[in-house]
Amino acid sequence: MALQAAGRQSLVDTVVEALRSQLTAGEWTVGTRIPTEHALAEQLQVGRNTVREAIRVLVHAGMLRSRQGEGTFVVSTADPAEIMRGVQRAGIRDVLELRIALEAEAARLAALRHEPADLERMRAALDAQAELEGADGHPRSGSLELYADHDVAFHRAVVEAAHNSALTATYAWFSNSVREALVTALDDQAMPRILHGDHRAVLDAIAHGDPDAAERAARDLLEKPKRAVEALLAATEPTH
C-alpha cells in the first residue's frame, strides 16, 4: 500500500491514519505484536522515521505500547478520538444518562474516600455559582458560561473525591461534553433550573460518609433534567 508523497508532517498523519484503520479493522488483535518498523516502512513505502513517529502518536493515544527489545504491541483496537467524537455528537439525554452512571458511582465512592480538601472544593464551587444568580435563581445576564463552569467544577470535585484515577481521567475527558450540554440546558427555559439544595444534598451525604445517600442524591439531581429532556423529546415526536 503505497502512500502519496507529501510534506513530512502530513505524511506522518497519513501513516497514523493508515495504521489506525488497520487497528480498528482488527487486522492486528489486542495483545499481538505489529510488524516491525522496517516491514511497515516497506509496506507503506515511507521512511522508517516516519513510521516511528506515527507509532509514537498511536502509543500516546493508547492504542499501541512499545516494549524495549520486544517490539510494539496492540493495546486497544478502539480509536479514542472516534469515541470522543461520538460523545461530542451525542444529544443532551445521552450525556445525562452517561453522567448518571459516572457521577452516581463517583458520589458513592467519594462518601467513602473523601478528604477535607475535596469538600472544600465542592463548597467553593457551589458558593461561587450562587453568587452569579439573580433574585429568580437563574444565572444573571452575561454570566451563563461562568455559571456552567462552576457547576462542572462541583461535579468534577465530586468525581475527584472518589480518588479513582481511571474515573477521574474518564470524567475529565467527558467534562467538555458535560459543559456544552449544560450551557444548552441553561439557555432553555423549558429545562428545570439548577437547585443548590440538590447539590448540597450530594455534598452533605458525602461529608457524612453515607455512600447510599450520596449515590441516591447524585442520581436524583440528574434525573430531574433527564425527565425534562425526555418530556421535550416526547412532545416533538411525530404522532401516527
Q: Distance between CA 108 and CA 52 in Å, rounded?
A: 44
Q: What is the pLDDT of residue 182?
A: 82
Instruction: Give bridge partners of residue 64 from the DSSP assignment.
Output: 74
Pick the CATH number of 8-77 from 3.40.50.300, 3.30.70.100, 1.10.10.10, 2.60.120.10: 1.10.10.10
Q: What is the pLDDT of residue 62?
A: 83
pLDDT at 5 over 60: no
Which amino acid, residue 37? E
Domain boundaries, the chain: 8-77, 82-236
- 212: exposed, middle or buried (Cβ count in 10 Å: 0-12, 13-18, 19+): exposed
Q: Distance between CA 87 and CA 96 in Å, rounded?
A: 11
Segment 161-217, tens digit of pLDDT: 999 998 998 888 778 878 887 888 777 776 767 778 899 999 999 999 999 999 999
The beta strand positions in 61-215, using DSSP E, are 64-67, 71-74
Segment 116-126, tens digit of pLDDT: 999 999 999 99
- 3-class DSSP assignment, residue 192: coil
Domain 82-236 has CATH 1.20.120.530: yes
